């Protein structure tokens, strides 16, 4: 039957659904089951994250307020506003009651707006970024391609510096995790070495503040 039917029907394809930005979804539609008011903190200070909070220390949280999905979602408009009166959905009471019983039996208490952090992240600020100065190599020397080039730096940092990452022509070549944070390389050992090259160093302190510096250096090929 299907072979006969498909022979005369148009070859229709399923339409690819529109892309959805996960950040725009309600918490419950992202798999967050324990609340609907979402906020982001800095995991080190415990305070509200800011534009300067590193991705490594951002932590998404919700106010604990456990309900069935119908409390948060209008099934006729899932991405729309939360239902003002979820009980108008005829199925709501059948979904909400067992969820409420489970919440009570498992000892989940609701939290309130008053329990949110009262301050913003104050350990990640532009003025706290590590400052790094490259003392070697220098831009006024043409280095031999088979010579060993030492990378030396000086640093100042509000919090202790823990690591520097070294990039040459945007390729990662290594790290140094011990003061005085030096590194060495031989140009001919690098596949991407050129006559004129860019050295970039990124430094991190112990709370993930980041500072970087760049310079050019020359190699005789």
Q: From edge to edge, which strands make up the β-sheet containing 161-168? A: 142-144, 210-220, 196-205, 161-168, 171-176
Q: How far apart are CA 22 and CA 29, in angstroms?
A: 9
Number of C-beta neighbours around residue 164 at 10 A: 24
Q: How far apart are CA 38 and CA 60, in angstroms?
A: 7
Domains of the chain, earliest start first: 19-115 (no CATH), 126-220 (2.60.40.10)
Q: How far apart are CA 82 and CA 72, in angstroms?
A: 5
The per-residue pLDDT for 12 is: 78
> In this predicted model, what pLDDT tens digit does every residue of 131-159 receive, in sequence order?
999 999 999 999 999 999 999 999 999 99
> In this predicted model, what pLDDT tens digit does every residue of 45-84 receive, in sequence order?
999 999 999 999 999 999 999 999 999 999 999 999 999 9
Q: Average pLDDT over the chain, rounded to whole? A: 94
Q: Give the global pTM.
A: 0.78
Share of the chain above pLDDT 70, in %: 100
Burial class (CB in 10 A: 0-12, 13-18, 19+), 162: middle
Query: What string of H, E and C letters represents the secondary structure of 171-199?
Result: EEEEEECCCCCCEEECHHHCCCCCCEEEE
Cα-trace Rg, the chain: 28
Q: How far apart are CA 150 and CA 112, in angstroms?
A: 56
């Amino acid at each position: 039957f299907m072979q006969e039917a498909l022979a005369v029907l148009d070859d229709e394809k399923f339409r690819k659904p529109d892309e959805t930005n996960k950040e725009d979804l309600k918490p419950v539609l992202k798999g967050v089951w324990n609340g609907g008011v979402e906020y982001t903190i800095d995991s080190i200070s415990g305070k509200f994250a800011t534009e300067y909070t590193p991705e490594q220390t951002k932590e998404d949280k919700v106010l604990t307020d456990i309900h069935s999905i119908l409390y948060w979602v209008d099934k006729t408009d899932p991405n729309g506003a939360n239902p003002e009166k979820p009980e108008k959905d005829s199925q709501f009471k059948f979904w909400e009651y067992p969820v409420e019983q489970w919440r009570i039996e498992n000892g989940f208490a609701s939290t309130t707006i008053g329990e949110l952090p009262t301050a913003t992240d104050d350990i990640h600020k532009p003025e706290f970024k590590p400052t790094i100065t490259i003392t070697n190599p220098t831009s006024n020397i043409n280095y031999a391609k088979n010579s060993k080039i030492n990378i030396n730096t000086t640093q100042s940092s509000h919090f202790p510096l823990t690591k520097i990452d070294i990039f040459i022509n945007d390729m990662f070549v290594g790290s140094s995790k011990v003061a005085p944070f030096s590194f060495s390389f031989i140009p001919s050992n690098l596949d991407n070495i050129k006559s004129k090259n860019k050295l970039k160093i990124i430094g991190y302190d112990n709370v993930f503040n980041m500072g970087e510096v760049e310079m050019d250096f020359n190699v005789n090929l």
